Amino acid sequence: MKTGIEHGVGVVEVTVTPEMTAKLDDRLIHPVYSTFWLAYHAEVAARRAIEPYFEEGENAVGSSISIEHKAMAGIGAEVRVTARVSSVKGRYILCTIEALATKTNTLLAEGTQGQVCMSSEALATKCEQAVA
């Protein structure tokens, strides 16, 4: 990894769409931003925070995520999910996650996301050995 990764920040900005609401088997459960989509956007933000710091031939794989929803955001809400690198221990990188409804500055969620950095070759080998 390149130096400076401890300052990495990644952002995802979205407008909540009907597709991002809480559903079960294509049935609407709640017309609000689902935890599923929040977790996905947290993963993307975390990747954006660390990817600029990869050396040639490096990659990373997600290893953990923890999200606590604190408030709801309805369809049409503008959401910013920010990931900040909070610790680097060897090859393990932890990002803190914060999701805000930008129009009201409401804290929607907080959490963490972890990734393990490794060579692209090692990751490819692990992918080949994945359980089928």
pTM for this prediction: 0.93
Encoded tokens for 51: 């990817």
What does residue 16 show for φ and ψ, rounded to 5 degrees? -65, 125
Q: Report the alpha-carbon distance of residue 14 to residue 55 in Å, rounded.
A: 29
pLDDT at 35: 96
CB atoms within 10 A of CB 101: 19
pLDDT above 90 for 95: yes
Query: Per-residue pLDDT tens for 35-89?
Result: 999 999 999 999 999 999 999 999 999 999 999 999 999 999 999 999 999 999 9
Where does the pLDDT of residue 132 fall: very low under 50, low under 70, confident under 90, or very high at 90 and above?
A: confident
Domains belonging to the chain, first-starting first, are 5-128 (3.10.129.10)
Report which of 110, 79, 78 is spatially closest to residue 95, judged by C-alpha positions: 110
State which H helix or E strand residue 48 sits in.
helix 35-50
Query: Per-residue pLDDT tens for 114-131?
Result: 999 999 999 999 999 999
pLDDT at 81: 99
Encoded tokens for 112: 């963490």
Report which of 40, 42, 20 is spatially closest to residue 31, judged by C-alpha positions: 20
